[in-house]
Amino acid sequence: MPTYSRMPRYDIHNDGAGPYAIFYCDMCGREFRSQPDVVASVKQDLGRTALGGFLRKVPLVGDSVADNVVGEDPRYSYKMTPAQVESAWKQCQVHFRECPTCNRIVCLSDFDTQSGFCQDDSPRTNEISEARGAQAGAAIKGFATAFGLGGALDNVGKAVEAAGRSTTQMAQCPKDGTLAAPGTKFCPECGTPM
């Protein structure tokens, strides 16, 4: 597993099962969520319930002592210790790579694994751009076919090819370059023989 010089930006959230961290890609901002430590939350909750119930039976001061001893409920806490954050980072770091050039920690979709650099610093930028363009073209053609417009795209392609052939067959004036229909003997603009 690769080592990282730092940890990416993260937030701590809680959905009622305990706090967890969300780590963000430095390039695209994609989120990767760690799993809350449910087992520790349940253990702590059971201990809190037993200890709190026992202390609350003490007359006069039991309730205040129980509230101070048991502490914050982890199911509603938005705090994590540095060890918990490190554990959450270890869960999520399989989704990240660090670029040696810019030191950004990016997700796998923004990292060129063949060159070992992020997409911005990759020496294969032109190849990647061409591949993305071809992929986008294929996706558009697929959508058009799915919506029944595949024949229309084929007709457009044929029309473009026909237009390209017709411009090569047209007569061109040697003096000013004006195009005219095939078989025209004189330029319609200047009158020069074609």
**pTM score, two decimals?**
0.56
Residue pLDDT, tens place only, 22-67: 999 999 999 999 998 766 655 555 555 555 555 555 555 555 555 5
| Section 112-130 average pLDDT | 87
Burial, 93: exposed, middle or buried (Cβ in 10 Å; 0-12, 13-18, 19+)? buried
Most confident of 68-82, 86-100, 126-140, 177-191: 86-100
Nearest to 11 by CA among 71, 89, 83: 89
